[in-house]
Amino acid sequence: MKTVAEILKEIRPEFDFATSKDFIADGMLDSFDVVTLVAMLDKNFGISIQGVDIVPENFKNHETIEALLRKSGYKQ
């Protein structure tokens, strides 16, 4: 199973996601990258992120993404 960091790197290899607190505001993820990310998170973690949760605030940084994974039923 891949980590969130590995998935982000796969989508946008040109960015260092460890240094940003807001991937959206910093221009590292656009709206279509978020769609790709959701599809990869669903598949990788065996979950289904709800459509209503696909909003920019949930994809700002590692903490918000991990909170979304927990909300979507993923248990570490």
Partner 1 sequence: MNFIFRRKRISGILTVVPAREQSFVEDMKNFNFSESRSLKLKEVMGYDKHRIVEPGICVSDLAVFGLEHLFNRGLLNRDGIDALILVTQSPDHFMPPTSNVIQGRLNLKQDMLCLDINQGCAGYVIGLIQAFLLLEQESIQKVIIINADVLSRKTSPKDRNSYPLIGDAAAITVVERDAKESVVYANLKMDGSRNNVLMIPAGGFRLPSSPATAVLEEVGDNNLRAKDHLHMDGSAVFNFVQVEVPPLINDLLRHAGKAMNEVEYFFCHQANRFMLQKLAEKMKVPYAKMPSNIVEHFGNSSGVTIPTAITYNLRDRLIREKFKVCLAGFGVGLTWGAMLLNLGDVYFSDMIEYG
Among 3, 25, 46, 55, binds partner 1 (CB under 8 A): 55
Task: Determine the residue type at 53.
Answer: D
Find tokens 């969130």 and name the residue: 4
Window of 1-9, 15-23, 33-41, 62-70 that interacts with partner 1 by CB under 8 A: 33-41
Determine, following the binding rule CB under 8 A, whether residue 33 of this chain makes contact with partner 1.
Answer: yes
Output the smallest distance, CB 14 to partner 1, in A. Answer: 9
- Locate 43 and state its tokens: 């598949």
Nearer to partner 1, 36 or 61 (CB): 36
Distance CA 32, CA 35 (A): 5
